[in-house]
Amino acid sequence: MQWILPDGASTFAGDIDFLYYVILVITGIAFLVVEVGLVWFAIKYRARPGRRATYTHGSLRAELVWTAIPAVTVVVLGLMSGGVWNHVKGRHSAPAEALPYRVLAKQFEWHVTHPGPDGQLDTPDDFTIRNQLHMPVDRAVVVHLTAEDVIHSFFVPAFRVKQDAVPGMEIPVWFEATKAGRYELACAELCGLGHYRMGAEVMVHAADEFGSWTAAQAAARTQ
Ligand SMILES: [Cu+2]
């Protein structure tokens, strides 16, 4: 279903979208209740000639209720989100067999180092492409993300993945695409005058096609 969010194309999309819509519905209901109450009270208790103000010391019961309901709600949302957060961003959450990439963000482009046919980084068959990340479908990949100059942010909306790229740090960010196709990769951190052109693409290939594409790229670069 596509409503507000773009179609999801990673294994994270289901969990993240569910939480997003749960929070949207809860905050939407709270918004309506508060705004309708505000307008209702403003009209009902407006100033009228001869009407005297009433003094009150409040109501303990009302205060307990309006404190307890939001408290329980945010604790439940926190518990629901915690597991998803840990799965997506936990320190050791990337699967061990994930295909490794290195992405260097700089003003104003992405340098994507692919692991090459051997599936490993820092070997002679690695190759680097500007503004394109090619990956196989249905396989976890882990991007070792860093930045050369200022803070950028690696954002693939269809995958529900967003991670700051910070100079001097190497941050792993993992995901697994569920549908072959072409997806937008954008910089989500205002990083300078050319920020608007830090658009790139993620190409998700079918598994066999990815193998032949990788082999062709590696061969072309060693000639
Ligand atoms: Cu940027």
Cα of 183 vs centre of ligand 1, distance in Å, is: 17
Distance 37 CA to ligand 1 centre (A): 43
Residue spans per domain, the chain: 13-89, 99-222
Distance 132 CA to ligand 1 centre (A): 15
What CATH number was assigned to the domain covering residues 99-222? 2.60.40.420
Name the residue with tokens 């409040």.
58
User: Residue 1 above 60 pLDDT?
Assistant: no
Could you tell me the distance, in angstroms and rounded to a whole number, from the CA of residue 41 to the centre of ligand 1?
47
- d(CA 200, ligand 1 centre) in Å: 11
Q: How confident is the model at residue 199 (pLDDT cuts 50, 70, 90)?
A: very high
Tens digits of residue pLDDT in 5-47: 899 999 999 999 999 999 999 999 999 999 999 999 999 999 8
pTM of the predicted model as reported, rounded to 2 decimal places: 0.88
pLDDT of residue 91: 87
CATH class in words for 13-89: mainly alpha
Predicted local distance difference test score (pLDDT) of residue 57: 87
Question: What is the pLDDT averaged over residues 113-119?
Answer: 94
DSSP, collapsed to helix, strand or coil, labels residue 126 as: coil
From the CA of 108, how far away is ligand 1's center (Å)? 6
Work out the angle between the directed axes of helices 60-89 and 13-44 (0-180°, nearest 10).
160
How far away, in angstroms, is 176 Cα from ligand 1 center? 23
Cα-to-centroid distance, 162 and ligand 1 (Å): 12
Secondary structure (3-state) at 47: coil
C-alpha 140 to ligand 1 mean position (Å): 25
Query: Which residues, at least 6 apart from 154, have a Cβ–Cβ distance to it below 8 Å?
Result: 103, 105, 110, 143, 145, 161, 162, 163, 164, 165, 173, 185, 187, 188
Place of tokens 């209901």: 29
